Structure 1
């Protein structure tokens, strides 16, 4: 089957959280049609967006419209990066590293998810926070920012079960070696989101030119860290190869499980 063109609709920035979900769906469907591992992170991300919308509707946040604005600005950085990469343009180095790996067979599903989190949380999140509110309002956003962690934490167990469905041996190993949940929590919620907030505090008072330089420096560092995820050392790489050989199903089936 020949590859289908990447959805042109992604070129237009989303304006609402519903539009974000719609564009993520378009990426997921394109990924399934083209057997692209790009759909792994997009499928996980859409669940986060849906839960964030639910949290807004249920009054979880102090300022629902403000957190939706943050979610949309944040998501548009991923959507734009994805569109740029798939249409021959060049997004940030961090996303180039993540998207490049989607064309390789050996990375396991968890590595693809972590590469997406690395680019999106370690780089994009701080930028999005700084763009959401002026410097004087940044402290007011911290409470709602922290509440997003609750949403992510609620999804970790689901992701663990989905990874175990792709690689059944994970259920057995979790009993003896500890849960994959711990890895995801430590990576995406504790260290990464704390660092993202610190990055936002750094960016917030800067001029546009100063921000661009700070972002370029940060992007270079995060891109380098992606190599640790892709090539984590001999022992971890050996284990990953065993996992990869045991992962069941096609790329399309993996995406459908993660949805």
Structure 2
């Protein structure tokens, strides 16, 4: 990723209009990453992961790997705008969904591990936002028509896990010494997995597609509360042994946030 070298301020970000194309999504993610690097903001961890995923989705659209590339770009933009709107609301001091609030609260605390920050972002975005975006894009159509492309976009995310794992061992060599790869460690944290998130997001999208008016909003609120609780278990793992391991690993993690963001972006 070649992020813009210009100085990006909070006001610059708040003046942006939400994207309408995948290229605009990528551009705004790069601005957020630059902003986070400049301000040593842990929110950049998830932003740089999301940038990688979005670039990969763009490549897959170009290569016609999806059944309907035009529809997939619309889903990608609608999906991304959920995150971007939440991020801009957060830096402006405005309310967000509960799922994103706990993710952003962890940024303010600056205590969770890099992996916890990534999982908290994935938790809010996949478990809540993806279902909402899918239902919106398929409004007026059979939601089952997008199921194959829905699985493909999640497979893209899953395929990048090895890359994330390699980055995490550079950020914290102790994880390599303890053989704590990302699958084992995120299972220790909360039994959170890409496949589980994907399946849950699809069921939520199907349920939401059948709701109207107040039932639609209530369905989102109920889901948001549930995902917030899952986020809480990621941010604050239970059990003496797990808490001890988290504290131990934290001691060895790189403390330079901008450097970590750059490592995750490689």
Unaligned runs of 5+ in 2: 1-7
Which residue is 1:248 aligned to?
254
Per-residue deviation at 1:172?
A: 2.2
- Larger mean CA deviation between 99-108 and 193-202 belongs to 99-108
- SS of the counterpart of 1:47? helix
**Aligned to 2:222, which of 196, 210, 217?**
217
Q: TM-score, normalised by structure 2?
A: 0.90
User: What is the alpha-carbon distance in structure 2 between the residues aligned to residue 139 and residue 119 of structure 1?
Assistant: 23
Per-residue deviation at 1:249?
A: 4.1
Contact 1:122-1:222 at 8 Å conserved across structures: yes
Per-residue deviation at 1:196?
A: 0.3
1:157 is aligned to 2:159: no
Per-residue deviation at 1:9?
A: 5.3
User: What is the alpha-carbon distance in structure 1 between the residues aligned to residue 176 and residue 79 of structure 2?
Assistant: 33
User: What is the alpha-carbon distance in structure 1 between the residues aligned to residue 74 and residue 193 of structure 2?
Assistant: 21
Per-residue deviation at 1:148?
A: 1.4
Q: Give per-residue Cα distances to partners, 1:77-124, cap 9 Å, x unaligned.
A: 000000001001101011111001101132100000011011111111
User: What is the alpha-carbon distance in structure 1 between the residues aligned to residue 199 and residue 11 of structure 2?
Assistant: 34
Unaligned runs of 5+ in 1: none
1:239 is aligned to 2:245: yes
Q: TM-score, normalised by structure 1?
A: 0.93
Contact 1:7-1:30 at 8 Å conserved across structures: no
Number of residues of Structure 1 aligned to a counterpart in Structure 2: 254
CA pair 144-10 structure 1, distance change in 2 beyond 3 A: farther
- Larger mean CA deviation between 230-239 and 139-148 belongs to 230-239
User: What is the alpha-carbon distance in structure 2 between the residues aligned to residue 193 and residue 11 of structure 1?
Assistant: 30
Per-residue deviation at 1:128?
A: 0.5
1:194 is aligned to 2:199: yes
User: What is the alpha-carbon distance in structure 2 between the residues aligned to residue 54 and residue 63 of structure 1?
Assistant: 14
- SS of the counterpart of 2:108? coil
User: What is the alpha-carbon distance in structure 1 between the residues aligned to residue 184 and residue 76 of structure 2?
Assistant: 25
> Superposed, which structure 2 residues align to 1:1-259 within 5 Å?
4-8=9-13, 11-134=16-139, 136-174=141-179, 179-181=181-183, 187-233=192-238, 234-259=240-265
Per-residue deviation at 1:203?
A: 0.5
Contact 1:156-1:184 at 8 Å conserved across structures: no
User: What is the alpha-carbon distance in structure 1 between the residues aligned to residue 15 and residue 45 of structure 2?
Assistant: 17
Contact 1:14-1:72 at 8 Å conserved across structures: yes
CA pair 194-204 structure 1, distance change in 2 beyond 3 A: same
User: What is the alpha-carbon distance in structure 1 between the residues aligned to residue 39 and residue 129 of structure 2?
Assistant: 26
Contact 1:32-1:39 at 8 Å conserved across structures: yes
Per-residue deviation at 1:180?
A: 1.4
Contact 2:13-2:32 at 8 Å conserved across structures: no
What RMSD in Å do the two structures reach over aligned CA positions?
A: 1.8
